[in-house]
Amino acid sequence: MKTFIFLIISIVLVLFSNLISAHQIGFSQLQLTKNPERILEISLWYPAAKEAQFSQSKTANDTLKQVLIADNIAFKGTQVIKSAPLLLQTSKAGGTQKRPLVLLSHGYRGSWRNLNWLASKLVQKGFIAVAVNHPGTTTFNTSAIQAAKWWERPKDIKHTLDYLLNDSIWQQDIDENKISAIGHSLGGWTVMQLVGAQFNREDYLADCEALASFRSCQIKEELGLAFKQNNEPESTQLVDSRIKNAIILDLGLARSFSQTSLNKLNSPVLILAAGIDIGDLPQAQESGFLAEHLNLKNCRYKVYEKATHFSFMQECKPNAIAILEEEAKGDGIICKDGVGSTRAALHDTMFEDILAFLKQDN
C-alpha cells in the first residue's frame, strides 16, 4: 500500500512539474533608441528561470507570478512571467546550450500582440521569440512619414537582431546558426526581403493597373510604393544572411517582388495561406505567386481551407465580433473563421506545421 501511495504521489509531482514548465514563459519589453527618428519597441518571449515563478511568500500555496498580456475585451491574451530572468541551459559539456531564435513581423497596422499566441507556443518548445513594432504601420503609430519608408521594415528586424547578438545576456543564449523569421500579411512581405526577395516598383505598378481595386494596390501611396521616396536606398537588396529560413503567413504584396529575385532565393521558405477569400486578392495570386516562382527544393506551400487572413492572429473572445462591429463597421471580420472551425484548432494545426518546418530546417 505504501508503495502504491508513493507511486501516486510521484505521478502527481511529475504532472505538477510539467504544468509549471508549460507556463514557464518569460516576457520583457524594451526600446531600441539608437536611431532617435525610428525608435523600435521590442517584445521578447523566452524560457523563464524557475525561481522567477514564485511569489515571496513561503507558504505551501505559493502562486505563480504570472500576468496576462495582449488581453482585452475582444482578444484573448496569454499568461507570462513578466520581466523574469532568462533560464540558461547547461550542455553536457558544461557550457551554455544555446536556443533557436524566431523573429516576428506583424501585418499592416498590427502589433506584437497579433502573434503573441505563436510566440508563447514557441517558447514552450524551447525557442526564444522576439517581435518588433514597425513604426508607421503599427496599431498605435500610424505616422505617414514612417509608413512610407517601406525599406525600413526589414531593417527594423536587422537592428533588432544586431541588438540581441551584441547584448551580454541574449548573445549567450541564442544559437546564431538557428535564426528564423516569421511574418504575417505585410510582415510576410517584410520577412521575404530578409531572405532575398526584392521589391520591383515597375512590375508592381504595371500589375496594379489590372488589380487596382484590391487592397494590396490601394495602399501603395501609404507604403511609399507608388514612387521613389526621399532617402530610399538605390538597391532593393535587403537580405540578412544571419536569417536561415522564413515562414510566411498569408502575405500581401507578393506580386511586387521581382520574379528574378524569387528564382534565385536559396533559403528554405514555408508558405502558409488562408483558403477563404475575404475580398482581397485570392491567396493563389499572393502566396501562390511565391510558390510558383521559388525554387521547389526550398519551398513548402500549404493552404488552410477553413482559415481567413485573420485566422493567423490571436484568438477572439465570444462577443468579439459584436464589439468590433460597434467600434468600426466591418471590423468584425477580424474574428471570423471558416464554418465548422475554431481559431484555437486552426492555431494548433498551424503550429504543428511551423514547428515541423523549424525543426527540420534548423
**At 359, is the pLDDT very low, low, confident or very high (cuts 50, 70, 90)?**
very high
Residue 361 — very low, low, confident or very high, per pLDDT cuts 50/70/90?
A: low
In tens, the pLDDT along 163-218 reads 999 999 999 999 999 999 999 999 999 999 999 999 999 999 999 998 877 888 99
Q: What is the pLDDT of residue 187?
A: 98
Residue 134: pLDDT band with limits 50, 70, 90: very high
Estimate to the nearest angstrom the gap between the alpha carbon of 362 and the chain centroid: 17
pLDDT of residue 240: 98
Residue 24 near residue 78 (C-beta atoms within 8 A): no
User: The C-alpha cell of 210 is what?
Assistant: 489590372
The C-alpha angle 123, 127, 128, rounded to 5 degrees, equals: 85
Answer yes or no: is pLDDT of 52 > 70: no
pLDDT at 94: 67
The CATH number fitting domain 26-44+89-361, selected from 3.30.379.10, 3.40.50.1820, 3.20.20.140, 3.90.580.10: 3.40.50.1820
Average pLDDT, stretch 231-236? Answer: 95
pLDDT value for 290: 97
Alpha-carbon distance of 240 to 179, in angstroms, equals 11
- Please report, rounded to a whole number, the percentage of residues in the chain having pLDDT higher than 70: 88
Interatomic CA distance for residues 304 and 172, integer angstroms:
38
Backbone angles phi, psi at 189, to 5 degrees: -60, -40
238: which 3 cell numbers? 535587403
Nearest CA-CA partner of 40 in 136, 122, 107: 136
pLDDT tens per residue across span 316-328: 999 999 999 999 9
The confidence score (pLDDT) of residue 130 equals 98
pTM here? Answer: 0.90
Report the candidate in 238, 281, 27 with the shortest Cα–Cα distance to residue 149.
Answer: 238
DSSP state of 150: T
Q: How confident is the model at residue 280 (pLDDT cuts 50, 70, 90)?
A: confident
User: In 21-43, which positions are buried (b, 16+ CB within 10 angstroms) versus exposed (e)?
Assistant: eebbbbbbeeebeeeeebebbbb
- Over 50: is that where the pLDDT of 248 sits? yes
Torsion over CA: 150, 152, 154, 156 (sign): negative
Are 142 and 113 contacting, i.e. CB atoms less than 8 angstroms apart? no
Locate 354 and state its grid cell.
511551423
Confidence of residue 14 (pLDDT cuts 50, 70, 90): very low
What is the pLDDT confidence band of residue 362, given thresholds at 50, 70 and 90?
Answer: low
Place of cell 463597421: 329
Among 278, 36, 27, 217, residue whose Cα is nearest residue 128: 27
Q: Grid coordinates representing 337?
A: 473563421
Q: What angle do CA 134, 219, 147 make, to 5 degrees?
A: 25
% the chain with pLDDT above 90: 81
DSSP labels, 299-343: EEEEEETT--GGGGSPPBPTTHHHHHHHHSTTGGGGG---TT--H
pLDDT at residue 349, rounded to an integer = 98
C-alpha cell at 344: 484555437
DSSP 69-117: ES--SSB--EEEEETPPB--EE-TTSSEE-EEEEEEE--TTB-GGGGHH
Q: Which grid coordinates belong to 131? A: 517581435
126: region left, alpha or beta (phi > 0 left; psi from -120 to 50 alpha): left
Alpha-carbon span 120 to 247, nearest angstrom: 17
Residues contacting residue 4 through CB under 8 Å, at least 6 positions apart: none
Q: Is the pLDDT of residue 228 over 90?
A: yes
Question: 3-class DSSP state for residue 92?
Answer: coil
What's the CA gap between 129 and 80, in Å, rounded?
13
d(CA 276, CA 38): 36
The pLDDT, as a whole number, for residue 4 is 41
Question: What's the DSSP call for residue 52?
Answer: G
Instruction: Note the pLDDT of residue 10.
Output: 39
pLDDT value for 61: 41
Report the alpha-carbon distance of residue 111 to residue 131 in Å, rounded: 8
66 touches 74 (CB < 8 A): no
